[in-house]
Amino acid sequence: PAKRATGHGKNLWVEFVALAMETKAINLGQGMPDFGPPQHLIDALCDCSQEAKNNQYTRSQGHVRLVTALANMYSRLMGRQLNPMTDVVVSMGAYSILSHAINAFLEEGDEIILVEPFFDCYQPMAKIAGAKTVFVPLRPGQYAGHSKDWVLDPGELEAAFSPKTKMIIVNNPNNPLGKLFTTEELTVVAELCKRYDVICLMDEVYEWLTYSGTKHVRMATLPGMWERTITVGSAGKTFSATGWKMGWGIGPEHLVKHMQTMHANTGYCYPTLLQEAVARALEVETARLGQPDCYFTQLAVDTERKRDEIAEVLREVGLEPIIPDSGYFMMADTTPLGDSHPPAPLSLLFFILPCFITNPDLKISPCSGKV
Ligand code: PMP
Ligand code: GLN
């Protein structure tokens, strides 16, 4: 095999899925709901499958109706007029979008900064590109029981930047902590990106899963950051349809065009049917953005209720949950489990909220918390 295909053969999710199947365990690691997407999305898919043209290839960079719907929605969210043809790329999941961004911009020997804890695929993707990963941790404050207590040390972050740094990945909302970065925290990152001429790859797949009293600030809206930011989104997370594996990248033409090139020369185009259906669903939801009947609003309200219930259950069995401001996951300090658990300064488990509470038979005990 080529060098780029070696050294990262082990994949956490491949292993977890196999183990869960083998042991018939509930897989709480993988971020997927146990309910379906909104009915209007399913209806849109059925309807559009009847039209012959939706069953054929479509525009490589993204189906026109979808990139138009995305540009309309993000123009509103980012407060600037986006060009659907040049500022958007659609590919196979946020996964592929991340991969296209990394491969389009990182040369052998370039450095990429990852904020720990991070979504696992960033590291092998950087390795495949031949880049060097530099890690900066989110550190727990004195009381680490809430996701916002986990913060970057500005000095430590600055020390990670060097003339070789090409890119930083910030996952906001963060998986697995559920941390939402404040404007001040994002500004520290932004200033360093500008000073060192670094591309900021913002993984914002959980953009709609933010809970009451919080605000998701978009890096691309900070002064001088549109030009150097790629924002990554996912239809899977947006519409609770993770199996649809559709992702998009939003950014300035001078960055997005290279990701469009990577996409055109790997998969060429993402399935037309799914793009057409998501376009129709986005049109519906963009028209009622921020209103109580918007799917994104309802999903957040529903998941927050589950978050609170699961936190209660964790406390009941003696675990200390880290309350997330956002996202699908909750982590818990397993130190109270004592010696039965591998020694670690702070041992953490994570649980997927949507699956958990919708299963009324599920009883959690410290043992069943182990994957
Ligand atoms: N980024 C993060 C932080 C994620 O949690 C996930 C999904 N688990 C992805 C990217 C990938 O999303 P997709 O399923 O759209 O490829
Ligand atoms: N746990 C992963 C997530 O964050 C699952 C990713 C995957 O399926 N590759 O949702």
Protein residue with its CA nearest to atom 12 in ligand 1? 94
- CA 155 / ligand 2 centre spacing (Å): 31
ipTM above 0.90, yes or no: yes
Question: In which residue ranges of the chain is pLDDT below 70?
Answer: 143, 339-371
Burial class (CB in 10 A: 0-12, 13-18, 19+), 15: exposed
Q: What is the pLDDT of residue 81?
A: 98
Burial class (CB in 10 A: 0-12, 13-18, 19+), 46: exposed
Protein residue with its CA nearest to atom 1 in ligand 2? 30
Please tell me what DSSP assigns to residue 147: G
d(CA 171, CA 114): 9
Q: What is the pLDDT of residue 342?
A: 54
- Residues 6 or more apart whose Cβ sits within 8 Å of residue 333: 144, 319, 320, 321, 322, 346, 347, 348
For residue 30, the ligand 1 atom closest to its alpha carbon is 8
Q: What is the pLDDT of residue 17?
A: 86
d(CA 48, CA 279): 11
Q: What is the secondary structure of 60-100 as a DSSP string?
A: TT--HHHHHHHHHHHHHHHTS---TTTSEEEEEHHHHHHHH
Q: What is the pLDDT of residue 32?
A: 82
pLDDT tens figures, 19-33: 889 998 877 777 788
Burial class (CB in 10 A: 0-12, 13-18, 19+), 56: exposed
- CA 143 / ligand 2 centre spacing (Å): 28
Of the candidates 49, 66, 46, 33, the one whose C-alpha atom is nearest the C-alpha of residue 247 is: 66
Q: What is the pLDDT of residue 105?
A: 98
Please tell me what DSSP assigns to residue 131: P
Q: What is the pLDDT of residue 365?
A: 38
pLDDT tens figures, 331-360: 888 777 776 655 444 444 444 544 444 444
Q: Quick check: 208 and 267 in contact, CB under 8 A?
A: no
Domains of the chain (ranges, CATH numbers): 3-37+294-357 (3.90.1150.10), 39-287 (3.40.640.10)
Mutate which of 70, 202, 234 to test ligand 1's pocket (most atoms within 8 Å of Cβ)? 234
Look up the pTM and report it.
Answer: 0.92
Of the candidates 15, 8, 32, the one whose C-alpha atom is nearest the C-alpha of residue 93 is: 32
Q: What is the secondary structure of 102-126 as a DSSP string?
A: HHHHPPTT-EEEEEES--TTHHHHH
Residue 234 φ then ψ, to 5°: -140, 125
**Tally of CA atoms within 13 A in the half-sphere of 123 that contains its CB:** 14
- Residues 6 or more apart whose Cβ sits within 8 Å of residue 11: 124
Q: What is the pLDDT of residue 143?
A: 67
Q: What is the pLDDT of residue 169?
A: 98
Q: What is the pLDDT of residue 95?
A: 98
DSSP H helix total and E strand total for the chain: 12, 12
CA angle 7, 13, 16 (to 5 degrees): 115
Q: What is the secondary structure of 164-207 as a DSSP string?
A: TEEEEEEESS-TTT-----HHHHHHHHHHHHHHT-EEEEE-TTT
Mutate which of 8, 12, 30, 206 to test ligand 2's pocket (most atoms within 8 Å of Cβ)? 30
